[in-house]
Structure 1
Amino acid sequence: MQTENNNNHSNQKTFYIIFGILGALLILLAVLYFSQSKEMKEVVEEMTKEKQILTEEYQELALGYDSLESTNDTINLMLQKERQKVEHLIEEIKTIKATNASRIREFRNELTTLRGVLKSYVVQIDSLNRLNEELKKENKEYQQRYSRIKDSYKELENVKTELENKVEIASRLETVNLRATGLNTRGQKTQRVNRTDKIEVCFTIKKNVTAPVGIKPFYLRLERPDGQLLLHSRDDLFTFEGEDIHFSAMRNVEYGGEEIDICIYYDADMGELIAGEYIADIFADGANIGHFSFKLK
């Protein structure tokens, strides 16, 4: 009986020992579980934070691309492709799990590469902008030089025009001793209208070494006291100040630059002449070189 009691006591002791060990193990496992759970939670929180930081850095990178602008179409096209690539990566980052550490590392490495690419574009665009500024500066200087040359050319043109005008004025023939009288059928002078067969207009061309020489046509226009132009044909025309006008009589004379006396004659038709004051105009080289009046009785 005593032996049986000892065995029961021994069994109970063994049970308590085993129970104690199991309890200790359970407690240990619980501690380990809660410890690992806490560590896992901290890791997840850290990875979530890393994912958020990574997303913000990619968004900052996208803003960096958005701020770039170039006048080069090829670079603009490449920038657009890089922007689209970054936007695609941002969307992909948002979809991955925070616990996917390997993929996050890949994104981190890709970010470093993309930053290098962005930096290279910044350098290229900065170089192009400096070149554009230099070209603008050179173009401005060229425009200023061109403007100065244009002004100088315009000034020279004005001087040339002024000189040409002076030469034209200097080369214009001058007349002196202008006079007119009527001639009868025998060539004798008369002031009486009913005896005048023709009108003689004479003048002296002064010496002019700058005037063109050679055969020159001299035109005479005679206007009656009533304002009617004396002429024989509507086809008797010459050009004056860009217009064709009629002449009463003309004569071709060889002029060599020396002083010369010239007379032009108008043959009057019967009953054409009337008493009063007549006006005579003489033209040569496209200019009116003489103007005076005379009377027939």
Structure 2
Amino acid sequence: MEGIGHRTLRVNGINIHVAEKGDGPIVLFVHGFPELWYSWRHQILSLAARGYRAVAPDLRGYGDSDCPPSASDYSIFHLVGDLVALVHALGQDQVFVVGHDWGAVVAWWLCVLRPDMVKALVNLSVPYSPRNPRRRTVESLRAIFGDDYYMCRFQEHGAIEAEFEQIGTTSVVKRFLTYRTPAAIFISKEKGIDGSFEAAATLPSWLSAADVEYFANKFEKSGFTGGLNYYRCLDLNWELTAPWTGVQIKVPVKFIVGDLDLTYHTPGVQDYIHKGGFRKRVPFLQDVVVMEGVGHFINQERPQEVSDHIYDFIKKFY
């Protein structure tokens, strides 16, 4: 795709596939679920054209990167460790970081554990969520949303994979990337994913059939278990990160979210973002952008705007 290069690097004991383009300071793009480096295709081209070296890995468990077999191989320490080793493999000590969805979570924790490696951070969709010392993560989610909440359903090893297989990889990709209704984040055991996530009748303008095919082909190869294991480590991460309870993010941050993003409409999230709680935990937060008329997959839905926001922020630190 338009001069984007690809290679595989051995980092942190596994093989990680990397897409990259351009010369200059490195901008490391970290994708979410169920996505790939390809989610950043527009930003790679845009930032490379503006004098940066854009680097986007397939995270462990995804695409052309290795998929370790055990769920415990996907702890936040493994995920952050992959990024640390990748930065070093690129010959750098410090980079700009851009994250979305699970990639945002990993980027937040990279800033917690290795703030020295992050020049500045632009995170999309998922704000920094401090550890609740009183209750495990999955227990908290069940208490708020019930057993059918997608993160709770994803805990069932093999069950969700079987449902995904039943409706087909292409259909799974289309449903996740195009969902808009709050009901879509609840997967009823009775209805299954087929009756819970409605398939888009037509693809939106920002997502082509070729895009869906690229994602689907890679997930046909890797399966979804690697990505699902990120959710299956939620309670393990809660245990592992106990020493960092209450820690702040101490790097310059810009946060961007769509006003139609279901994450933004999670109970309490808007008050947290806009009424001081977020800024207390991210004291170097410099900007919060709420983009109108855009949903969760913001970097694909509004690629030029997101690329401009990233560039306008990071250029201040170079």
- Between structure 1 and structure 2, the one with the greater Rg is 1
Structure 1 or 2: more helix by fraction: 1
TM norm structure 2:
0.16
Structure 1 or 2: more strand by fraction: 1
